[in-house]
Amino acid sequence: MVKNEETKKKSMLSPKKDIVFQVLFGEEGSEEITQDFLETILNKKITDVDLSKNPILRRTKTLDKLGILDVMVEIDNKEYCDIEMQVANQEYIIERLLYYWAKTFARSINKGQDYNSLKKTISILITDFEIKSLKELNCFTKWKIIEEENRQKILTEYMEIYIIMLPKMNEKDLKNDKLLEWLKFLENPESGEVRNIMKENVAIKKAHDKLEEMSNDEAMEHLIDMEESYKYLLNTERSIGIKERQKRSCKENER
């Protein structure tokens, strides 16, 4: 019997998975990919991105770094940008977004430095679900602190927050064609439409090539398995905790 010499091609990993997204955009060597992605979202020219503050996940052997995975980017040595991809619909997602923005902002100054040493901090949240409180808004929104009555008055340029809800992706609402291309890549990198986009968009072609390489990396498979196990344990512990609180509450009501 002659063996088939063609090896079966593995399905491509979803770039929306926490670890895959973090490695794709946060691993050193992804600078060109991340720079183009950020230029598209922030609508400005970037000359340098530093990804050195991210953990080297493909070398991680334990679960200690598999908590909340985001991508930390230093832009042009003067701004910090935190990017998070969130698939699970989590309660208090906006409050958590603000908390992590604040942590990143505080991290930009060292003890003893003046406040003018603080760096502009940008948070980008990409969700695979509609955020309940923002359902009436478009897929892409940009947020700053403004004065309530004079809505054109911005309190500070040190804070910017971008929220992208993938399920609300709509070609009519998105004026930025290049952003639409990136979101289609995140949604389905194997689609025929994305393959056509790759012919013109060099950065997405590079992202696709890296994703393909990751999809055939056994170490990535191992990390994804660990991440799924870690999430399962957390969800189980959370469910047990909820049930225990309900039992205690019932007992207290019976007294």
Per-residue pLDDT of the chain (255 residues; tens, 9 = 90+): 444 433 445 688 999 988 899 999 999 999 999 999 999 999 999 999 999 988 776 655 554 544 556 899 999 999 999 999 999 888 899 999 999 999 999 999 888 889 989 999 999 999 999 999 999 999 999 999 999 888 789 999 999 999 999 999 987 777 778 999 999 999 999 999 999 999 999 999 999 999 999 998 887 777 776 666 655 555 565 556 555 655 665 655 665
Q: CB–CB of 57/230 below 8 Å?
A: no
Residue 1: inside a domain? no
Residue 229: inside a domain? no
State residue 41's pLDDT score.
Answer: 96
Residue 125: inside a domain? yes
Contacts of 231 (CB under 8 A, 6+ apart): none
Contacts of 13 (CB under 8 A, 6+ apart): 20, 211, 214, 215, 220, 224
Q: CB–CB of 174/140 below 8 Å?
A: yes
Residue 108: inside a domain? yes
State residue 224's pLDDT score.
Answer: 74
Residue 169: inside a domain? yes
In whole angstroms, give the CA distance from residue 225 to residue 248.
Answer: 35
State residue 2's pLDDT score.
Answer: 42
Q: CB–CB of 66/60 below 8 Å?
A: yes
Domain of residue 184: give its range: 18-216
Q: Is 12 exposed, middle or buried (0-12, 13-18, 19+ CB in 10 A)?
A: middle
Residue 186: inside a domain? yes
Strand order in the sheet with 159-165: 49-50, 71-75, 79-86, 120-127, 159-165, 140-143
Question: How many domains are there within the chain?
Answer: 1
Contacts of 233 (CB under 8 A, 6+ apart): none
State residue 227's pLDDT score.
Answer: 65
Amino acid at 52: S
CA 189 vs. chain centroid, Å, equals 16
Residue 152: inside a domain? yes
In whole angstroms, give the CA distance from residue 52 to residue 177.
Answer: 30
Residue 124: inside a domain? yes
